[in-house]
Amino acid sequence: MWDEKYATEEYVYGTEPTGFLRARAEYLIPGARALAVADGEGRNSVYLAQQGLNVTAMDGSTVALDKARRLAAARDVEVGYHHGDITCWDWRPDAYDLVVAVFIQFLDPAARAKVFEGMKRTLAPGGVLLLHGYRPEQLDYATGGPPNADFMYTEQLLTSSFADLEILRLKGYDTEIHEGTGHAGMSALIDLVARKPA
């Protein structure tokens, strides 16, 4: 399904990073080891590399990864791209200073819980998780994301899922976004920034 969605010259979610990532500049530390999960066509991983981070990215779509590699080459940055299924990803313990998870809402609650645990495991002590997605109210806007309320994030869900991390920011809000044709219009969003205890 994702390969078909991405089988077009256009970048479905655009080539610019999500505004959430731009706004979190204080966590984008040059030289830091970053993992971008379900990174798609590379807009976020390429931006991280442009900020000087040492970036690894993964996605389940080979079509998306090809586009990501082209974007990285066009922007003259290096990113280590990997094809994989996030539900069986090897979450190496304490491996990354930053984990970036932007619009990864294709997971049912059980799979999501395992992925959240994996992201925590792979963060190094003191490392930061940047998670950005939709709230259930997005179903009314229908401007992006899956049509499943269960796949969305609430403040309560993220508070309980990341109770073992220090939550530095947790904010739900509505705003207009324009990220290619994939995310376009008024959107019900939520941001999480959380640090693994040192």
Ligand X SMILES: C[S@@+](CC[C@H](N)C(=O)[O-])C[C@H]1O[C@@H](n2cnc3c(N)ncnc32)[C@H](O)[C@@H]1O
103 binds ligand X (CB under 6 A): yes
Rounding to the nearest 10 degrees, give the CA dihedral for residues 17, 94, 85, 49.
30
Tell me how far, at minimum, the Cβ of 95 lies from ligand X, in Å.
18
In this chain, which of 20, 27, 39, 55 binds ligand X, going by CB under 6 A?
Answer: 39
State the first-to-last Cα distance of the chain, in angstroms, to the nearest integer. 40
Evaluate whether 185 touches 141 at the Cβ level (below 8 Å): yes
Region binding ligand X by CB under 6 A among candidate stretches 19-27, 40-48, 118-126, 185-193:
40-48
Residue 71 makes contact with ligand X by CB under 6 A? no
Interacting stretch for ligand X, rule CB under 6 A, among 25-33, 81-89, 123-131, 159-167?
A: 81-89
Question: Torsion angle, CA of 90/124/82/161, rounded to 10 degrees?
Answer: 70
For helices 43-50 and 62-74, angle between their N-to-C axes, nearest 10 degrees: 30
Question: What are the structure tokens assigned to 79, written together?
Answer: 């990113």
Closest distance of CB 177 from ligand X, Å: 11
Q: Does 78 engage in binding with ligand X (CB under 6 A)? A: no
Q: Which residues bind ligand X (CB under 6 A)?
A: 2, 13, 18, 38-40, 43-44, 59-61, 64, 85-87, 102-104, 106
